[in-house]
Each structure stands twice: as structure tokens, then as C-alpha cells.
Amino acid sequence: MLRLELFKIFKRPRTYISFGIVAAIALVIELAMYADGKNFINFALQGINEQFDMRGNILNGYLITYIILQTLLVQIPLLVALVAGDAIAGEASMGTLRLLLTKPQSRSKVIIVKFVASLCYALLLLLWLAIVALGLSVLIFGAGDMINLKSDAMVIILKDDVLWRYVAAFAFAALAMATVAALALLLSCFADNSIGPIVGTMGIIIVLMIFSTLDLPIFSVIKQYLFTTHMVGWKGFFDDPVPYKAVGTSAMVLLVYTFLFLGASIVWFNKKDIQS
Amino acid sequence: MATEIIEARRLTKSFGSFKAVDDLSFTINKGEVYGFLGQNGAGKSTTMRMLLGLIYPDNGAVYIRGMEFNNRTRHLLAYIGAVIERPDLYLYLTGWENLKLFAHLSGKEITSARMHEVLDIVGLSGREKDKVKGYSQGMKQRLGIAIALIHDPELLILDEPTNGLDPQGIAEMRFLINRLSKELGKTIMISSHLLHEIEQVATNMIILHRGKRIVEGKVADLLSPADTSVKIRLTPDEAVIAQLKNSEWKAQISSTQLGQITFKTDPENVPAINNWLVNHGASVLQINVTHSLEDYFLSLTSEDHVAAGTI
């Protein structure tokens, strides 16, 4: 059944639009850095250059990948929501849901398979991102020590110590995308049209991200419970030392949210009257 | 002895304050073509959806081959193939891909030979490699039936299968349904809002009105020729009517009024009655043959039209 879901997803031409968007964004940033990267680095390091003598290939593939990942913070969840939000609602609007559910398959299985299929799609999208961002950037700009400029500090990660961090960061991002996919799937169960769940998922993520990033006392109590606060946990792998406890807590929160959303989807979908 | 394929027991379903199906019970036995007749909104589709587990009844239960059907016994759907309302398919896939996809979900091993066989039955051989978005409504309907048939189910549930088809498509669909029943021995449940559609294919029928069962029985009994009503309009002539009341046809006269006589008789007698009237000097203006069940069904329909203010 999973094979059939993947077949349906990857037979649709619109599925590949996401891959095109990711490639386009990565390429635009890479081209911009290729053309004007030195000025960008000088501007970014202007305060530091006065006190330190920075040598070597600073504008390298690792740094550019980090910039691309920061840029795609909102876009990738949107692209995952496009598929997961369409999983049930899209079938309902096409009318194929009722045909699907007249087959001897349990509704819980239908939901789980659709979640796993959405997750496979998200993983492939991340893999594609790794190829066009990390692979291509390293190919064009070469490797080197990576500078991570934070608001209050600068972290320099040695060249040989970077790659595993990216592998870990992509694995963490996959977990975050699983949470997004589960949320989009839950909203998809409530709708008979895929626009609602897709826009709804993005709306929830954007609003919660605002709560997560605003440093206001009123939000400080709740932000630790919001999954959006923990979605950026992958950045922890570019600290030195890596805050494993914080990263582990974030991963756990995302996992709990994923199972909550998925469980709610199963319960709701099993009770739903299919009238579409 | 009749073998029960599916049984609906006291099914009830409401949507808000609207009662779509009200305490409905019926049984479909092996080999029957069971017609489900009712005007739009009578509860036909809701009932069919409850039989398939798409909609959950508020009360009552469905039994498939004697076992209660619910979320834990969805494997029983392997005995059923269905096309509910429009045959909505994956338009971006070919007919073959659609068929293969649903064949995999049927819970049985389906060979390519079986897929070709089913496409042949519904008359889609040669078009299976085309994308479904290029299919006509009739082709989509036939592919929907192929998907319903692919796992060789005992019962086919077809919800208004002639909806949206042109006259040729309707005739082809009727031929296909008759073939599925007579040649392949399928038990079929078919819904329609047209009595003559049901009359031409069904062995048994039930009429639903506002979610309730109004009439149920064998089509041959319900549409017995003896229940045919023949209304003859003629030029007013009291002498002819007086003679008619003493003629061989007197037992079959159900009412007379000046200018109109109504008979309850077999339609085969109409030419003889017409000849008798003409031979006795009457000028026959119009002959109208209707079945009492049709009259009854039409009266239900017009009641609702009056209530809705559409006539």
C-alpha cells in the first residue's frame, strides 16, 4: 500500500515543482555568492576583521549551505505541507477517497501509510536539498573551516569536523518535517479540499514561529512547549560544543507532537463520515 | 434456499435535524438484481454508503454474509465491489494504472490476465493505456465498474450508474448490468431515480421516500400487468359508456366519467378495447397506459415538488 501511495505522489507532475523550487533557491544563493560573496563576507565579518586576522577559504561550501538552510526555514515545511495536506483532503476533493475506502483496508492503515508516504517525500526533498545545497556548494566553492556567526558569538568549526554535523542536522530536519507532515495530515482529515489544510498548516507554523522568536515575557513561558521552537534544533549541531541535552529535548518534543498529531488523525479519520 | 449476501437491519442516519435514512431494513440474496428506487434525496446514496462503511449509521447494523460489518470487520468488503455516485478516478493516471492500483488494494492477488479480462468485460480493451482525463463519462463509468469487478466480488453496488450518460451510454450500461447478472452471476444492487431504469434490469426492488421504505418486493409482482392502468379519452358519448358497462370489458373498468374511461387491465388488451370502442361508434382521442406503481412513484415525486415549490 505504501508503494501505491508513493506511486500516486510521484506520478503527479506537481510533486516535482517542490524539487524545482528547492533547486532554484539553492542555485540563486550559490550564484549570488559566486558573484558577490567576497563583499558579503567582508560585510558580515567587518567588526571581527579589525581584531582578528581571518585567513583561508572562508567563503566555502559549508558556510553557503548553512546560509541556504537558514533561508529555507519556512519554505521546506510549506513544500511538505503541500503533499501531506493533500493526502486525505485531495483524495476527498477528487472523489477517490470513497473508492479507496470501499476496499478492504483499515482506515488506520490508510492514515499511517499516507503519513509514511508524506515522510518519504519529505526525506527525498531533504536529500535533494543536501545534493543541491551541500553537494553543489562544496563542488563550486570547495570545503574549508566553517564560520557560524551568531548574535553573541562566533563559532569556528574545523573543516574535518563539519560533515557529520550536516548529516545530523539533516536527520534532525527530517524529524521536524515529520511533525509538519503529521500536522498537515491531521488538518487534511478535517477538510474536503486541500487548500485549507495547506494554508492552515502554514498559518499555524508562521504564527507559532512568531511566538517562538519574539523575546517577550508573555511568550517565554509557552514557547518551550511549541514545536516550532524546537524545529530549529538542528542549529545546535553547529555550536561548539554541541548542546546534546537541548538538541535531545527538542527531538523528543518533536517526536511527541508527531505522535499526537498522528494519533489524533487516526482517531478522527476512523470516526469520519465520508460524504465527499 | 436463498443465500443472504447483505442485510441492512433498522438503519437510521441523520445529518443534523435532517433524517436521511429512517429505520430501514432489507436483505439482498445471491443472484438478485436489487433495484433501489427513490427520488433525489430519498436516502439511496446514504444507505449505500452505510452498507460500505463510508458513513456510520446512528442506529442499526449491516451484515455481510451473516457477519456484522464494522471498522473491525472491514475485510468483509472483499465480497463487495462498488461505484458510488460518480466514478472519480486518478485523472493523471492511465486506465490500466488506475485498475492496477485498486486491484492491489482489493486484498487478493490479481494477475494481468484478470485485468485484461475485466477490461474486456466492460469494453475498455485497447483504451487502457490512455490517461483517464481523456475518457468520456461513459468510459469512466465502465472503468469504475472494472475496478469494482477486479477482485471478483459477490455483490456489486452501483449508485445511479447511468447518471450523466448519453442515451447510447445508458443502453450500453444496461446491457453491461444485464450481462454481469446473467452471464457472470453477480448479485447487483443498483440505485436510480427512474422507475423504468430499475424495471429493465432489476429482479427485486425497494422504493425509498424520505429515508423510509415505501414498497418492496419482486419487480414481476410489483409491476404486474394486472396492475396496469389504461386511461382512454374519447368524445363524450353516454350510450357507448352504457354499452361498455355491459360488455366483456365490464370487469376491468375501474372508473368512468364523461369523456374518459379508466381500465385496470393487461396492456395487451389495449388494442382489443380500442377496436371495441371504435366499432361501437366512439372516437378515441388519447390512450394513456401507466402502471399503478409508476403513478404512485410519480405522486411521491410531485408531492415533494409541491412542497419544494418547484411546481
Residues of B in contact with A96 (CB under 8 A): 88-90
User: Min CA distance, A102 vs chain B (Å)?
Assistant: 6
B78/A275 CB distance under 8 A: no
Alpha-carbon separation of residue B40 from A24, B51, B210 (angstroms) = 51, 19, 9
Q: How sure is the predictor about A52, in pLDDT bands with cuts at 50, 70 and 90?
A: low
Domain assignment of residue A130, yes or no:
yes
* A178-187: average pLDDT: 94
The torsion angles phi and psi of B209, rounded to 5 degrees, stand at -145, 120
Tell me the shortest Cα–Cα distance from B55 to chain A, in angstroms: 4
pLDDT digits (tens, 9 = 90+) for A90-141: 888 888 888 889 898 899 999 999 999 999 999 999 899 888 888 888 888 8
Q: Is A148 left (phi over 0), alpha (psi -120 to 50) or beta?
A: beta
Pairing of strands A146-149, A154-157: antiparallel
Interface of B with A in 268-297 (CB under 8 A): none
What is the percent of chain A with per-residue pLDDT over 70, rounded to a whole number? 94
pLDDT at B280: 85
Question: Which chain B residue's Cα is nearest to A103?
Answer: B106
Report pLDDT for A107: 93
Task: Check residue B311 and give its pLDDT.
Answer: 37
Average pLDDT of A170-187?
Answer: 93
Picking from B44, B63, B41, the residue whose alpha carbon sits closest to that of residue B53 is B63
Whether B55 sits inside 8 A of A275 (CB atoms) is yes
Pairwise CA distance, residues A258 & B3, whole Å: 48
> What pLDDT score was predicted for residue A113?
94
Beta carbons of B22 and B8 less than 8 angstroms apart: no
Q: To which residue does cell 469494482 refer?
A: B148
pLDDT at B309: 44
State how many domains chain A has.
1
* Residue of A197, A167, A169 whose CA lies nearest to A182: A197
Task: Write down the pLDDT at residue A117.
Answer: 93
Per-residue pLDDT tens digits of chain B, which is 311 residues long: 558 889 999 999 999 889 999 999 999 998 889 999 888 888 899 999 999 999 999 999 999 988 999 888 998 998 999 888 877 889 889 999 999 999 988 888 888 999 998 898 888 888 888 899 898 888 888 898 889 888 889 999 988 888 777 788 788 888 888 888 888 888 999 998 887 788 888 888 898 888 888 888 887 777 777 677 888 888 877 788 888 888 888 888 888 887 888 888 888 888 888 888 888 888 888 888 877 677 777 766 666 554 544 43
Using an 8 Å Cβ cutoff, are A230 and A254 in contact?
Answer: yes
**How high is the pLDDT of residue B196?**
78
To the nearest whole Å, the CA of A95 is away from the closest chain B CA by 5
B74 in contact with A, Cβ within 8 Å: yes
- Give contacts of B 76-135 with A, CB under 8 A: 76-78, 80-93, 97, 101-102, 104-107
DSSP B73: G
Strand order in the sheet with B33-37: B80-83, B155-159, B187-192, B33-37, B204-209, B212-218
Q: Which domain holds residue A15?
A: 2-271
Asked whether residue A193 is assigned to any structural domain, the reply reads yes
Residue A11, in any domain of the structure: yes
Q: Under a CB-based contact definition with an 8 Å cutoff, are residues A185 and A262 in contact?
A: yes
Looking at chain A, which residue has its C-alpha nearest residue B51? A102
Closest CA–CA distance from residue B135 to any residue of chain A (Å): 16
Burial of B231 (0-12, 13-18, 19+ CB in 10 A): middle
Reduce the DSSP state of residue B286 to 3 states and report it: strand
**Considering the domain boundaries, does residue A276 fall inside one?**
no
Establish, for the pair of chains A and B, how many residue pairs have beta carbons separated by less than 8 Å: 83
pLDDT of A49 reads 65
What pLDDT is recorded for position B201? 83
Sheet bearing B253-257, strands edge to edge: B253-257, B260-264, B228-234, B284-291
Which of A4, A96, A274 faces B88 most closely, judged by CB atoms? Answer: A96
Shortest alpha-carbon distance between residue A121 and chain B (Å): 19
Distance of alpha carbon B65 from alpha carbon B77, whole angstroms: 11
Query: What's the number of CA atoms in the CB half-sphere (13 Å) around residue B255?
Result: 8
B305 interfacial to chain A (CB closer than 8 Å): no
A73 within some domain:
yes
Q: Establish if A258 belongs to a structural domain.
A: yes
Name the pLDDT band for A259 (thresholds 50, 70, 90).
very high
Residue A156 lies in a domain: yes
Residue A68 belongs to a domain: yes
What whole-number distance in Å separates Cα of residue A150 and Cα of residue A64? Answer: 15
Per-residue DSSP letters for B135-182?
--HHHHHHHHHHHHHTT--SEEEEESTTTT--HHHHHHHHHHHHHHHH
pLDDT of residue B52: 93
pLDDT at residue A178 tops 90:
yes
